[in-house]
Structure 1
Amino acid sequence: MTEQPARVRYLTVVEVAEIMRVSKMTVYRLLHSGELPGVRVGRSFRVPQDALDHYLATSLPIVPQDAERDTERRSS
């Protein structure tokens, strides 16, 4: 008995936008810049679930500047 490789799940731009809670245009920008890998199928894009998971796991959290200033004041 041979084992078959796991199937890759591909997400639409709308599905990626919903998961990330951003607009479709933001997803398109990420795809066109190469920050988020995807494949073109005809005139639309598909994003591998693994690629989205990796992108989200390796993205740096953004600290609001006000929180940064508060931390500097407390440490002074």
Structure 2
Amino acid sequence: MTTPPSAVLHPALSPAQELLTVPQVMARLQLGRSAVYDLLRTGQLASITLGRARRIPAHALTDFIRARLEQEAA
């Protein structure tokens, strides 16, 4: 009996489904840890919790940036 290729068992995440760590978001926004956690706490930036780990979907970061740009343009 053969096993399916690993790509079938663990399909690669598309960029829209990518999960970012808090340090990755800190680097992308060039903000400190407290500022990122404030955005998460206030609901401005969506996240999920996996056990004790906090992950931010890449699309949530994109949506946050887009919303801030629209606020600045208004």
Structure 1 length-normalised TM? 0.68
Aligned equivalent of 2:20, options 11, 31, 40? 11
Q: CA RMSD in A?
A: 1.9
Structure 1 unaligned segments of length 5 or more: list them: 1-5, 62-76
Percent identity over the alignment is 29
Aligned-pair distance for 1:49?
Answer: 0.2
Q: Which has the larger radius of gyration?
A: 1
Moved over 3 A (4+): none
In the alignment, is residue 46 of structure 1 matched against residue 49 of structure 2?
A: no
Count of aligned pairs between the two proteins:
58
Structure 2 length-normalised TM? 0.69
Structure 2 unaligned segments of length 5 or more: list them: 1-12
* CA distance in 2 between partners of 1:33 and 1:45 (Å): 15
1:1-21 Cα deviation digits (max 9, x unpaired): xxxxx7410000000010000
1:47-69 Cα deviation digits (max 9, x unpaired): 000010010011033xxxxxxxx
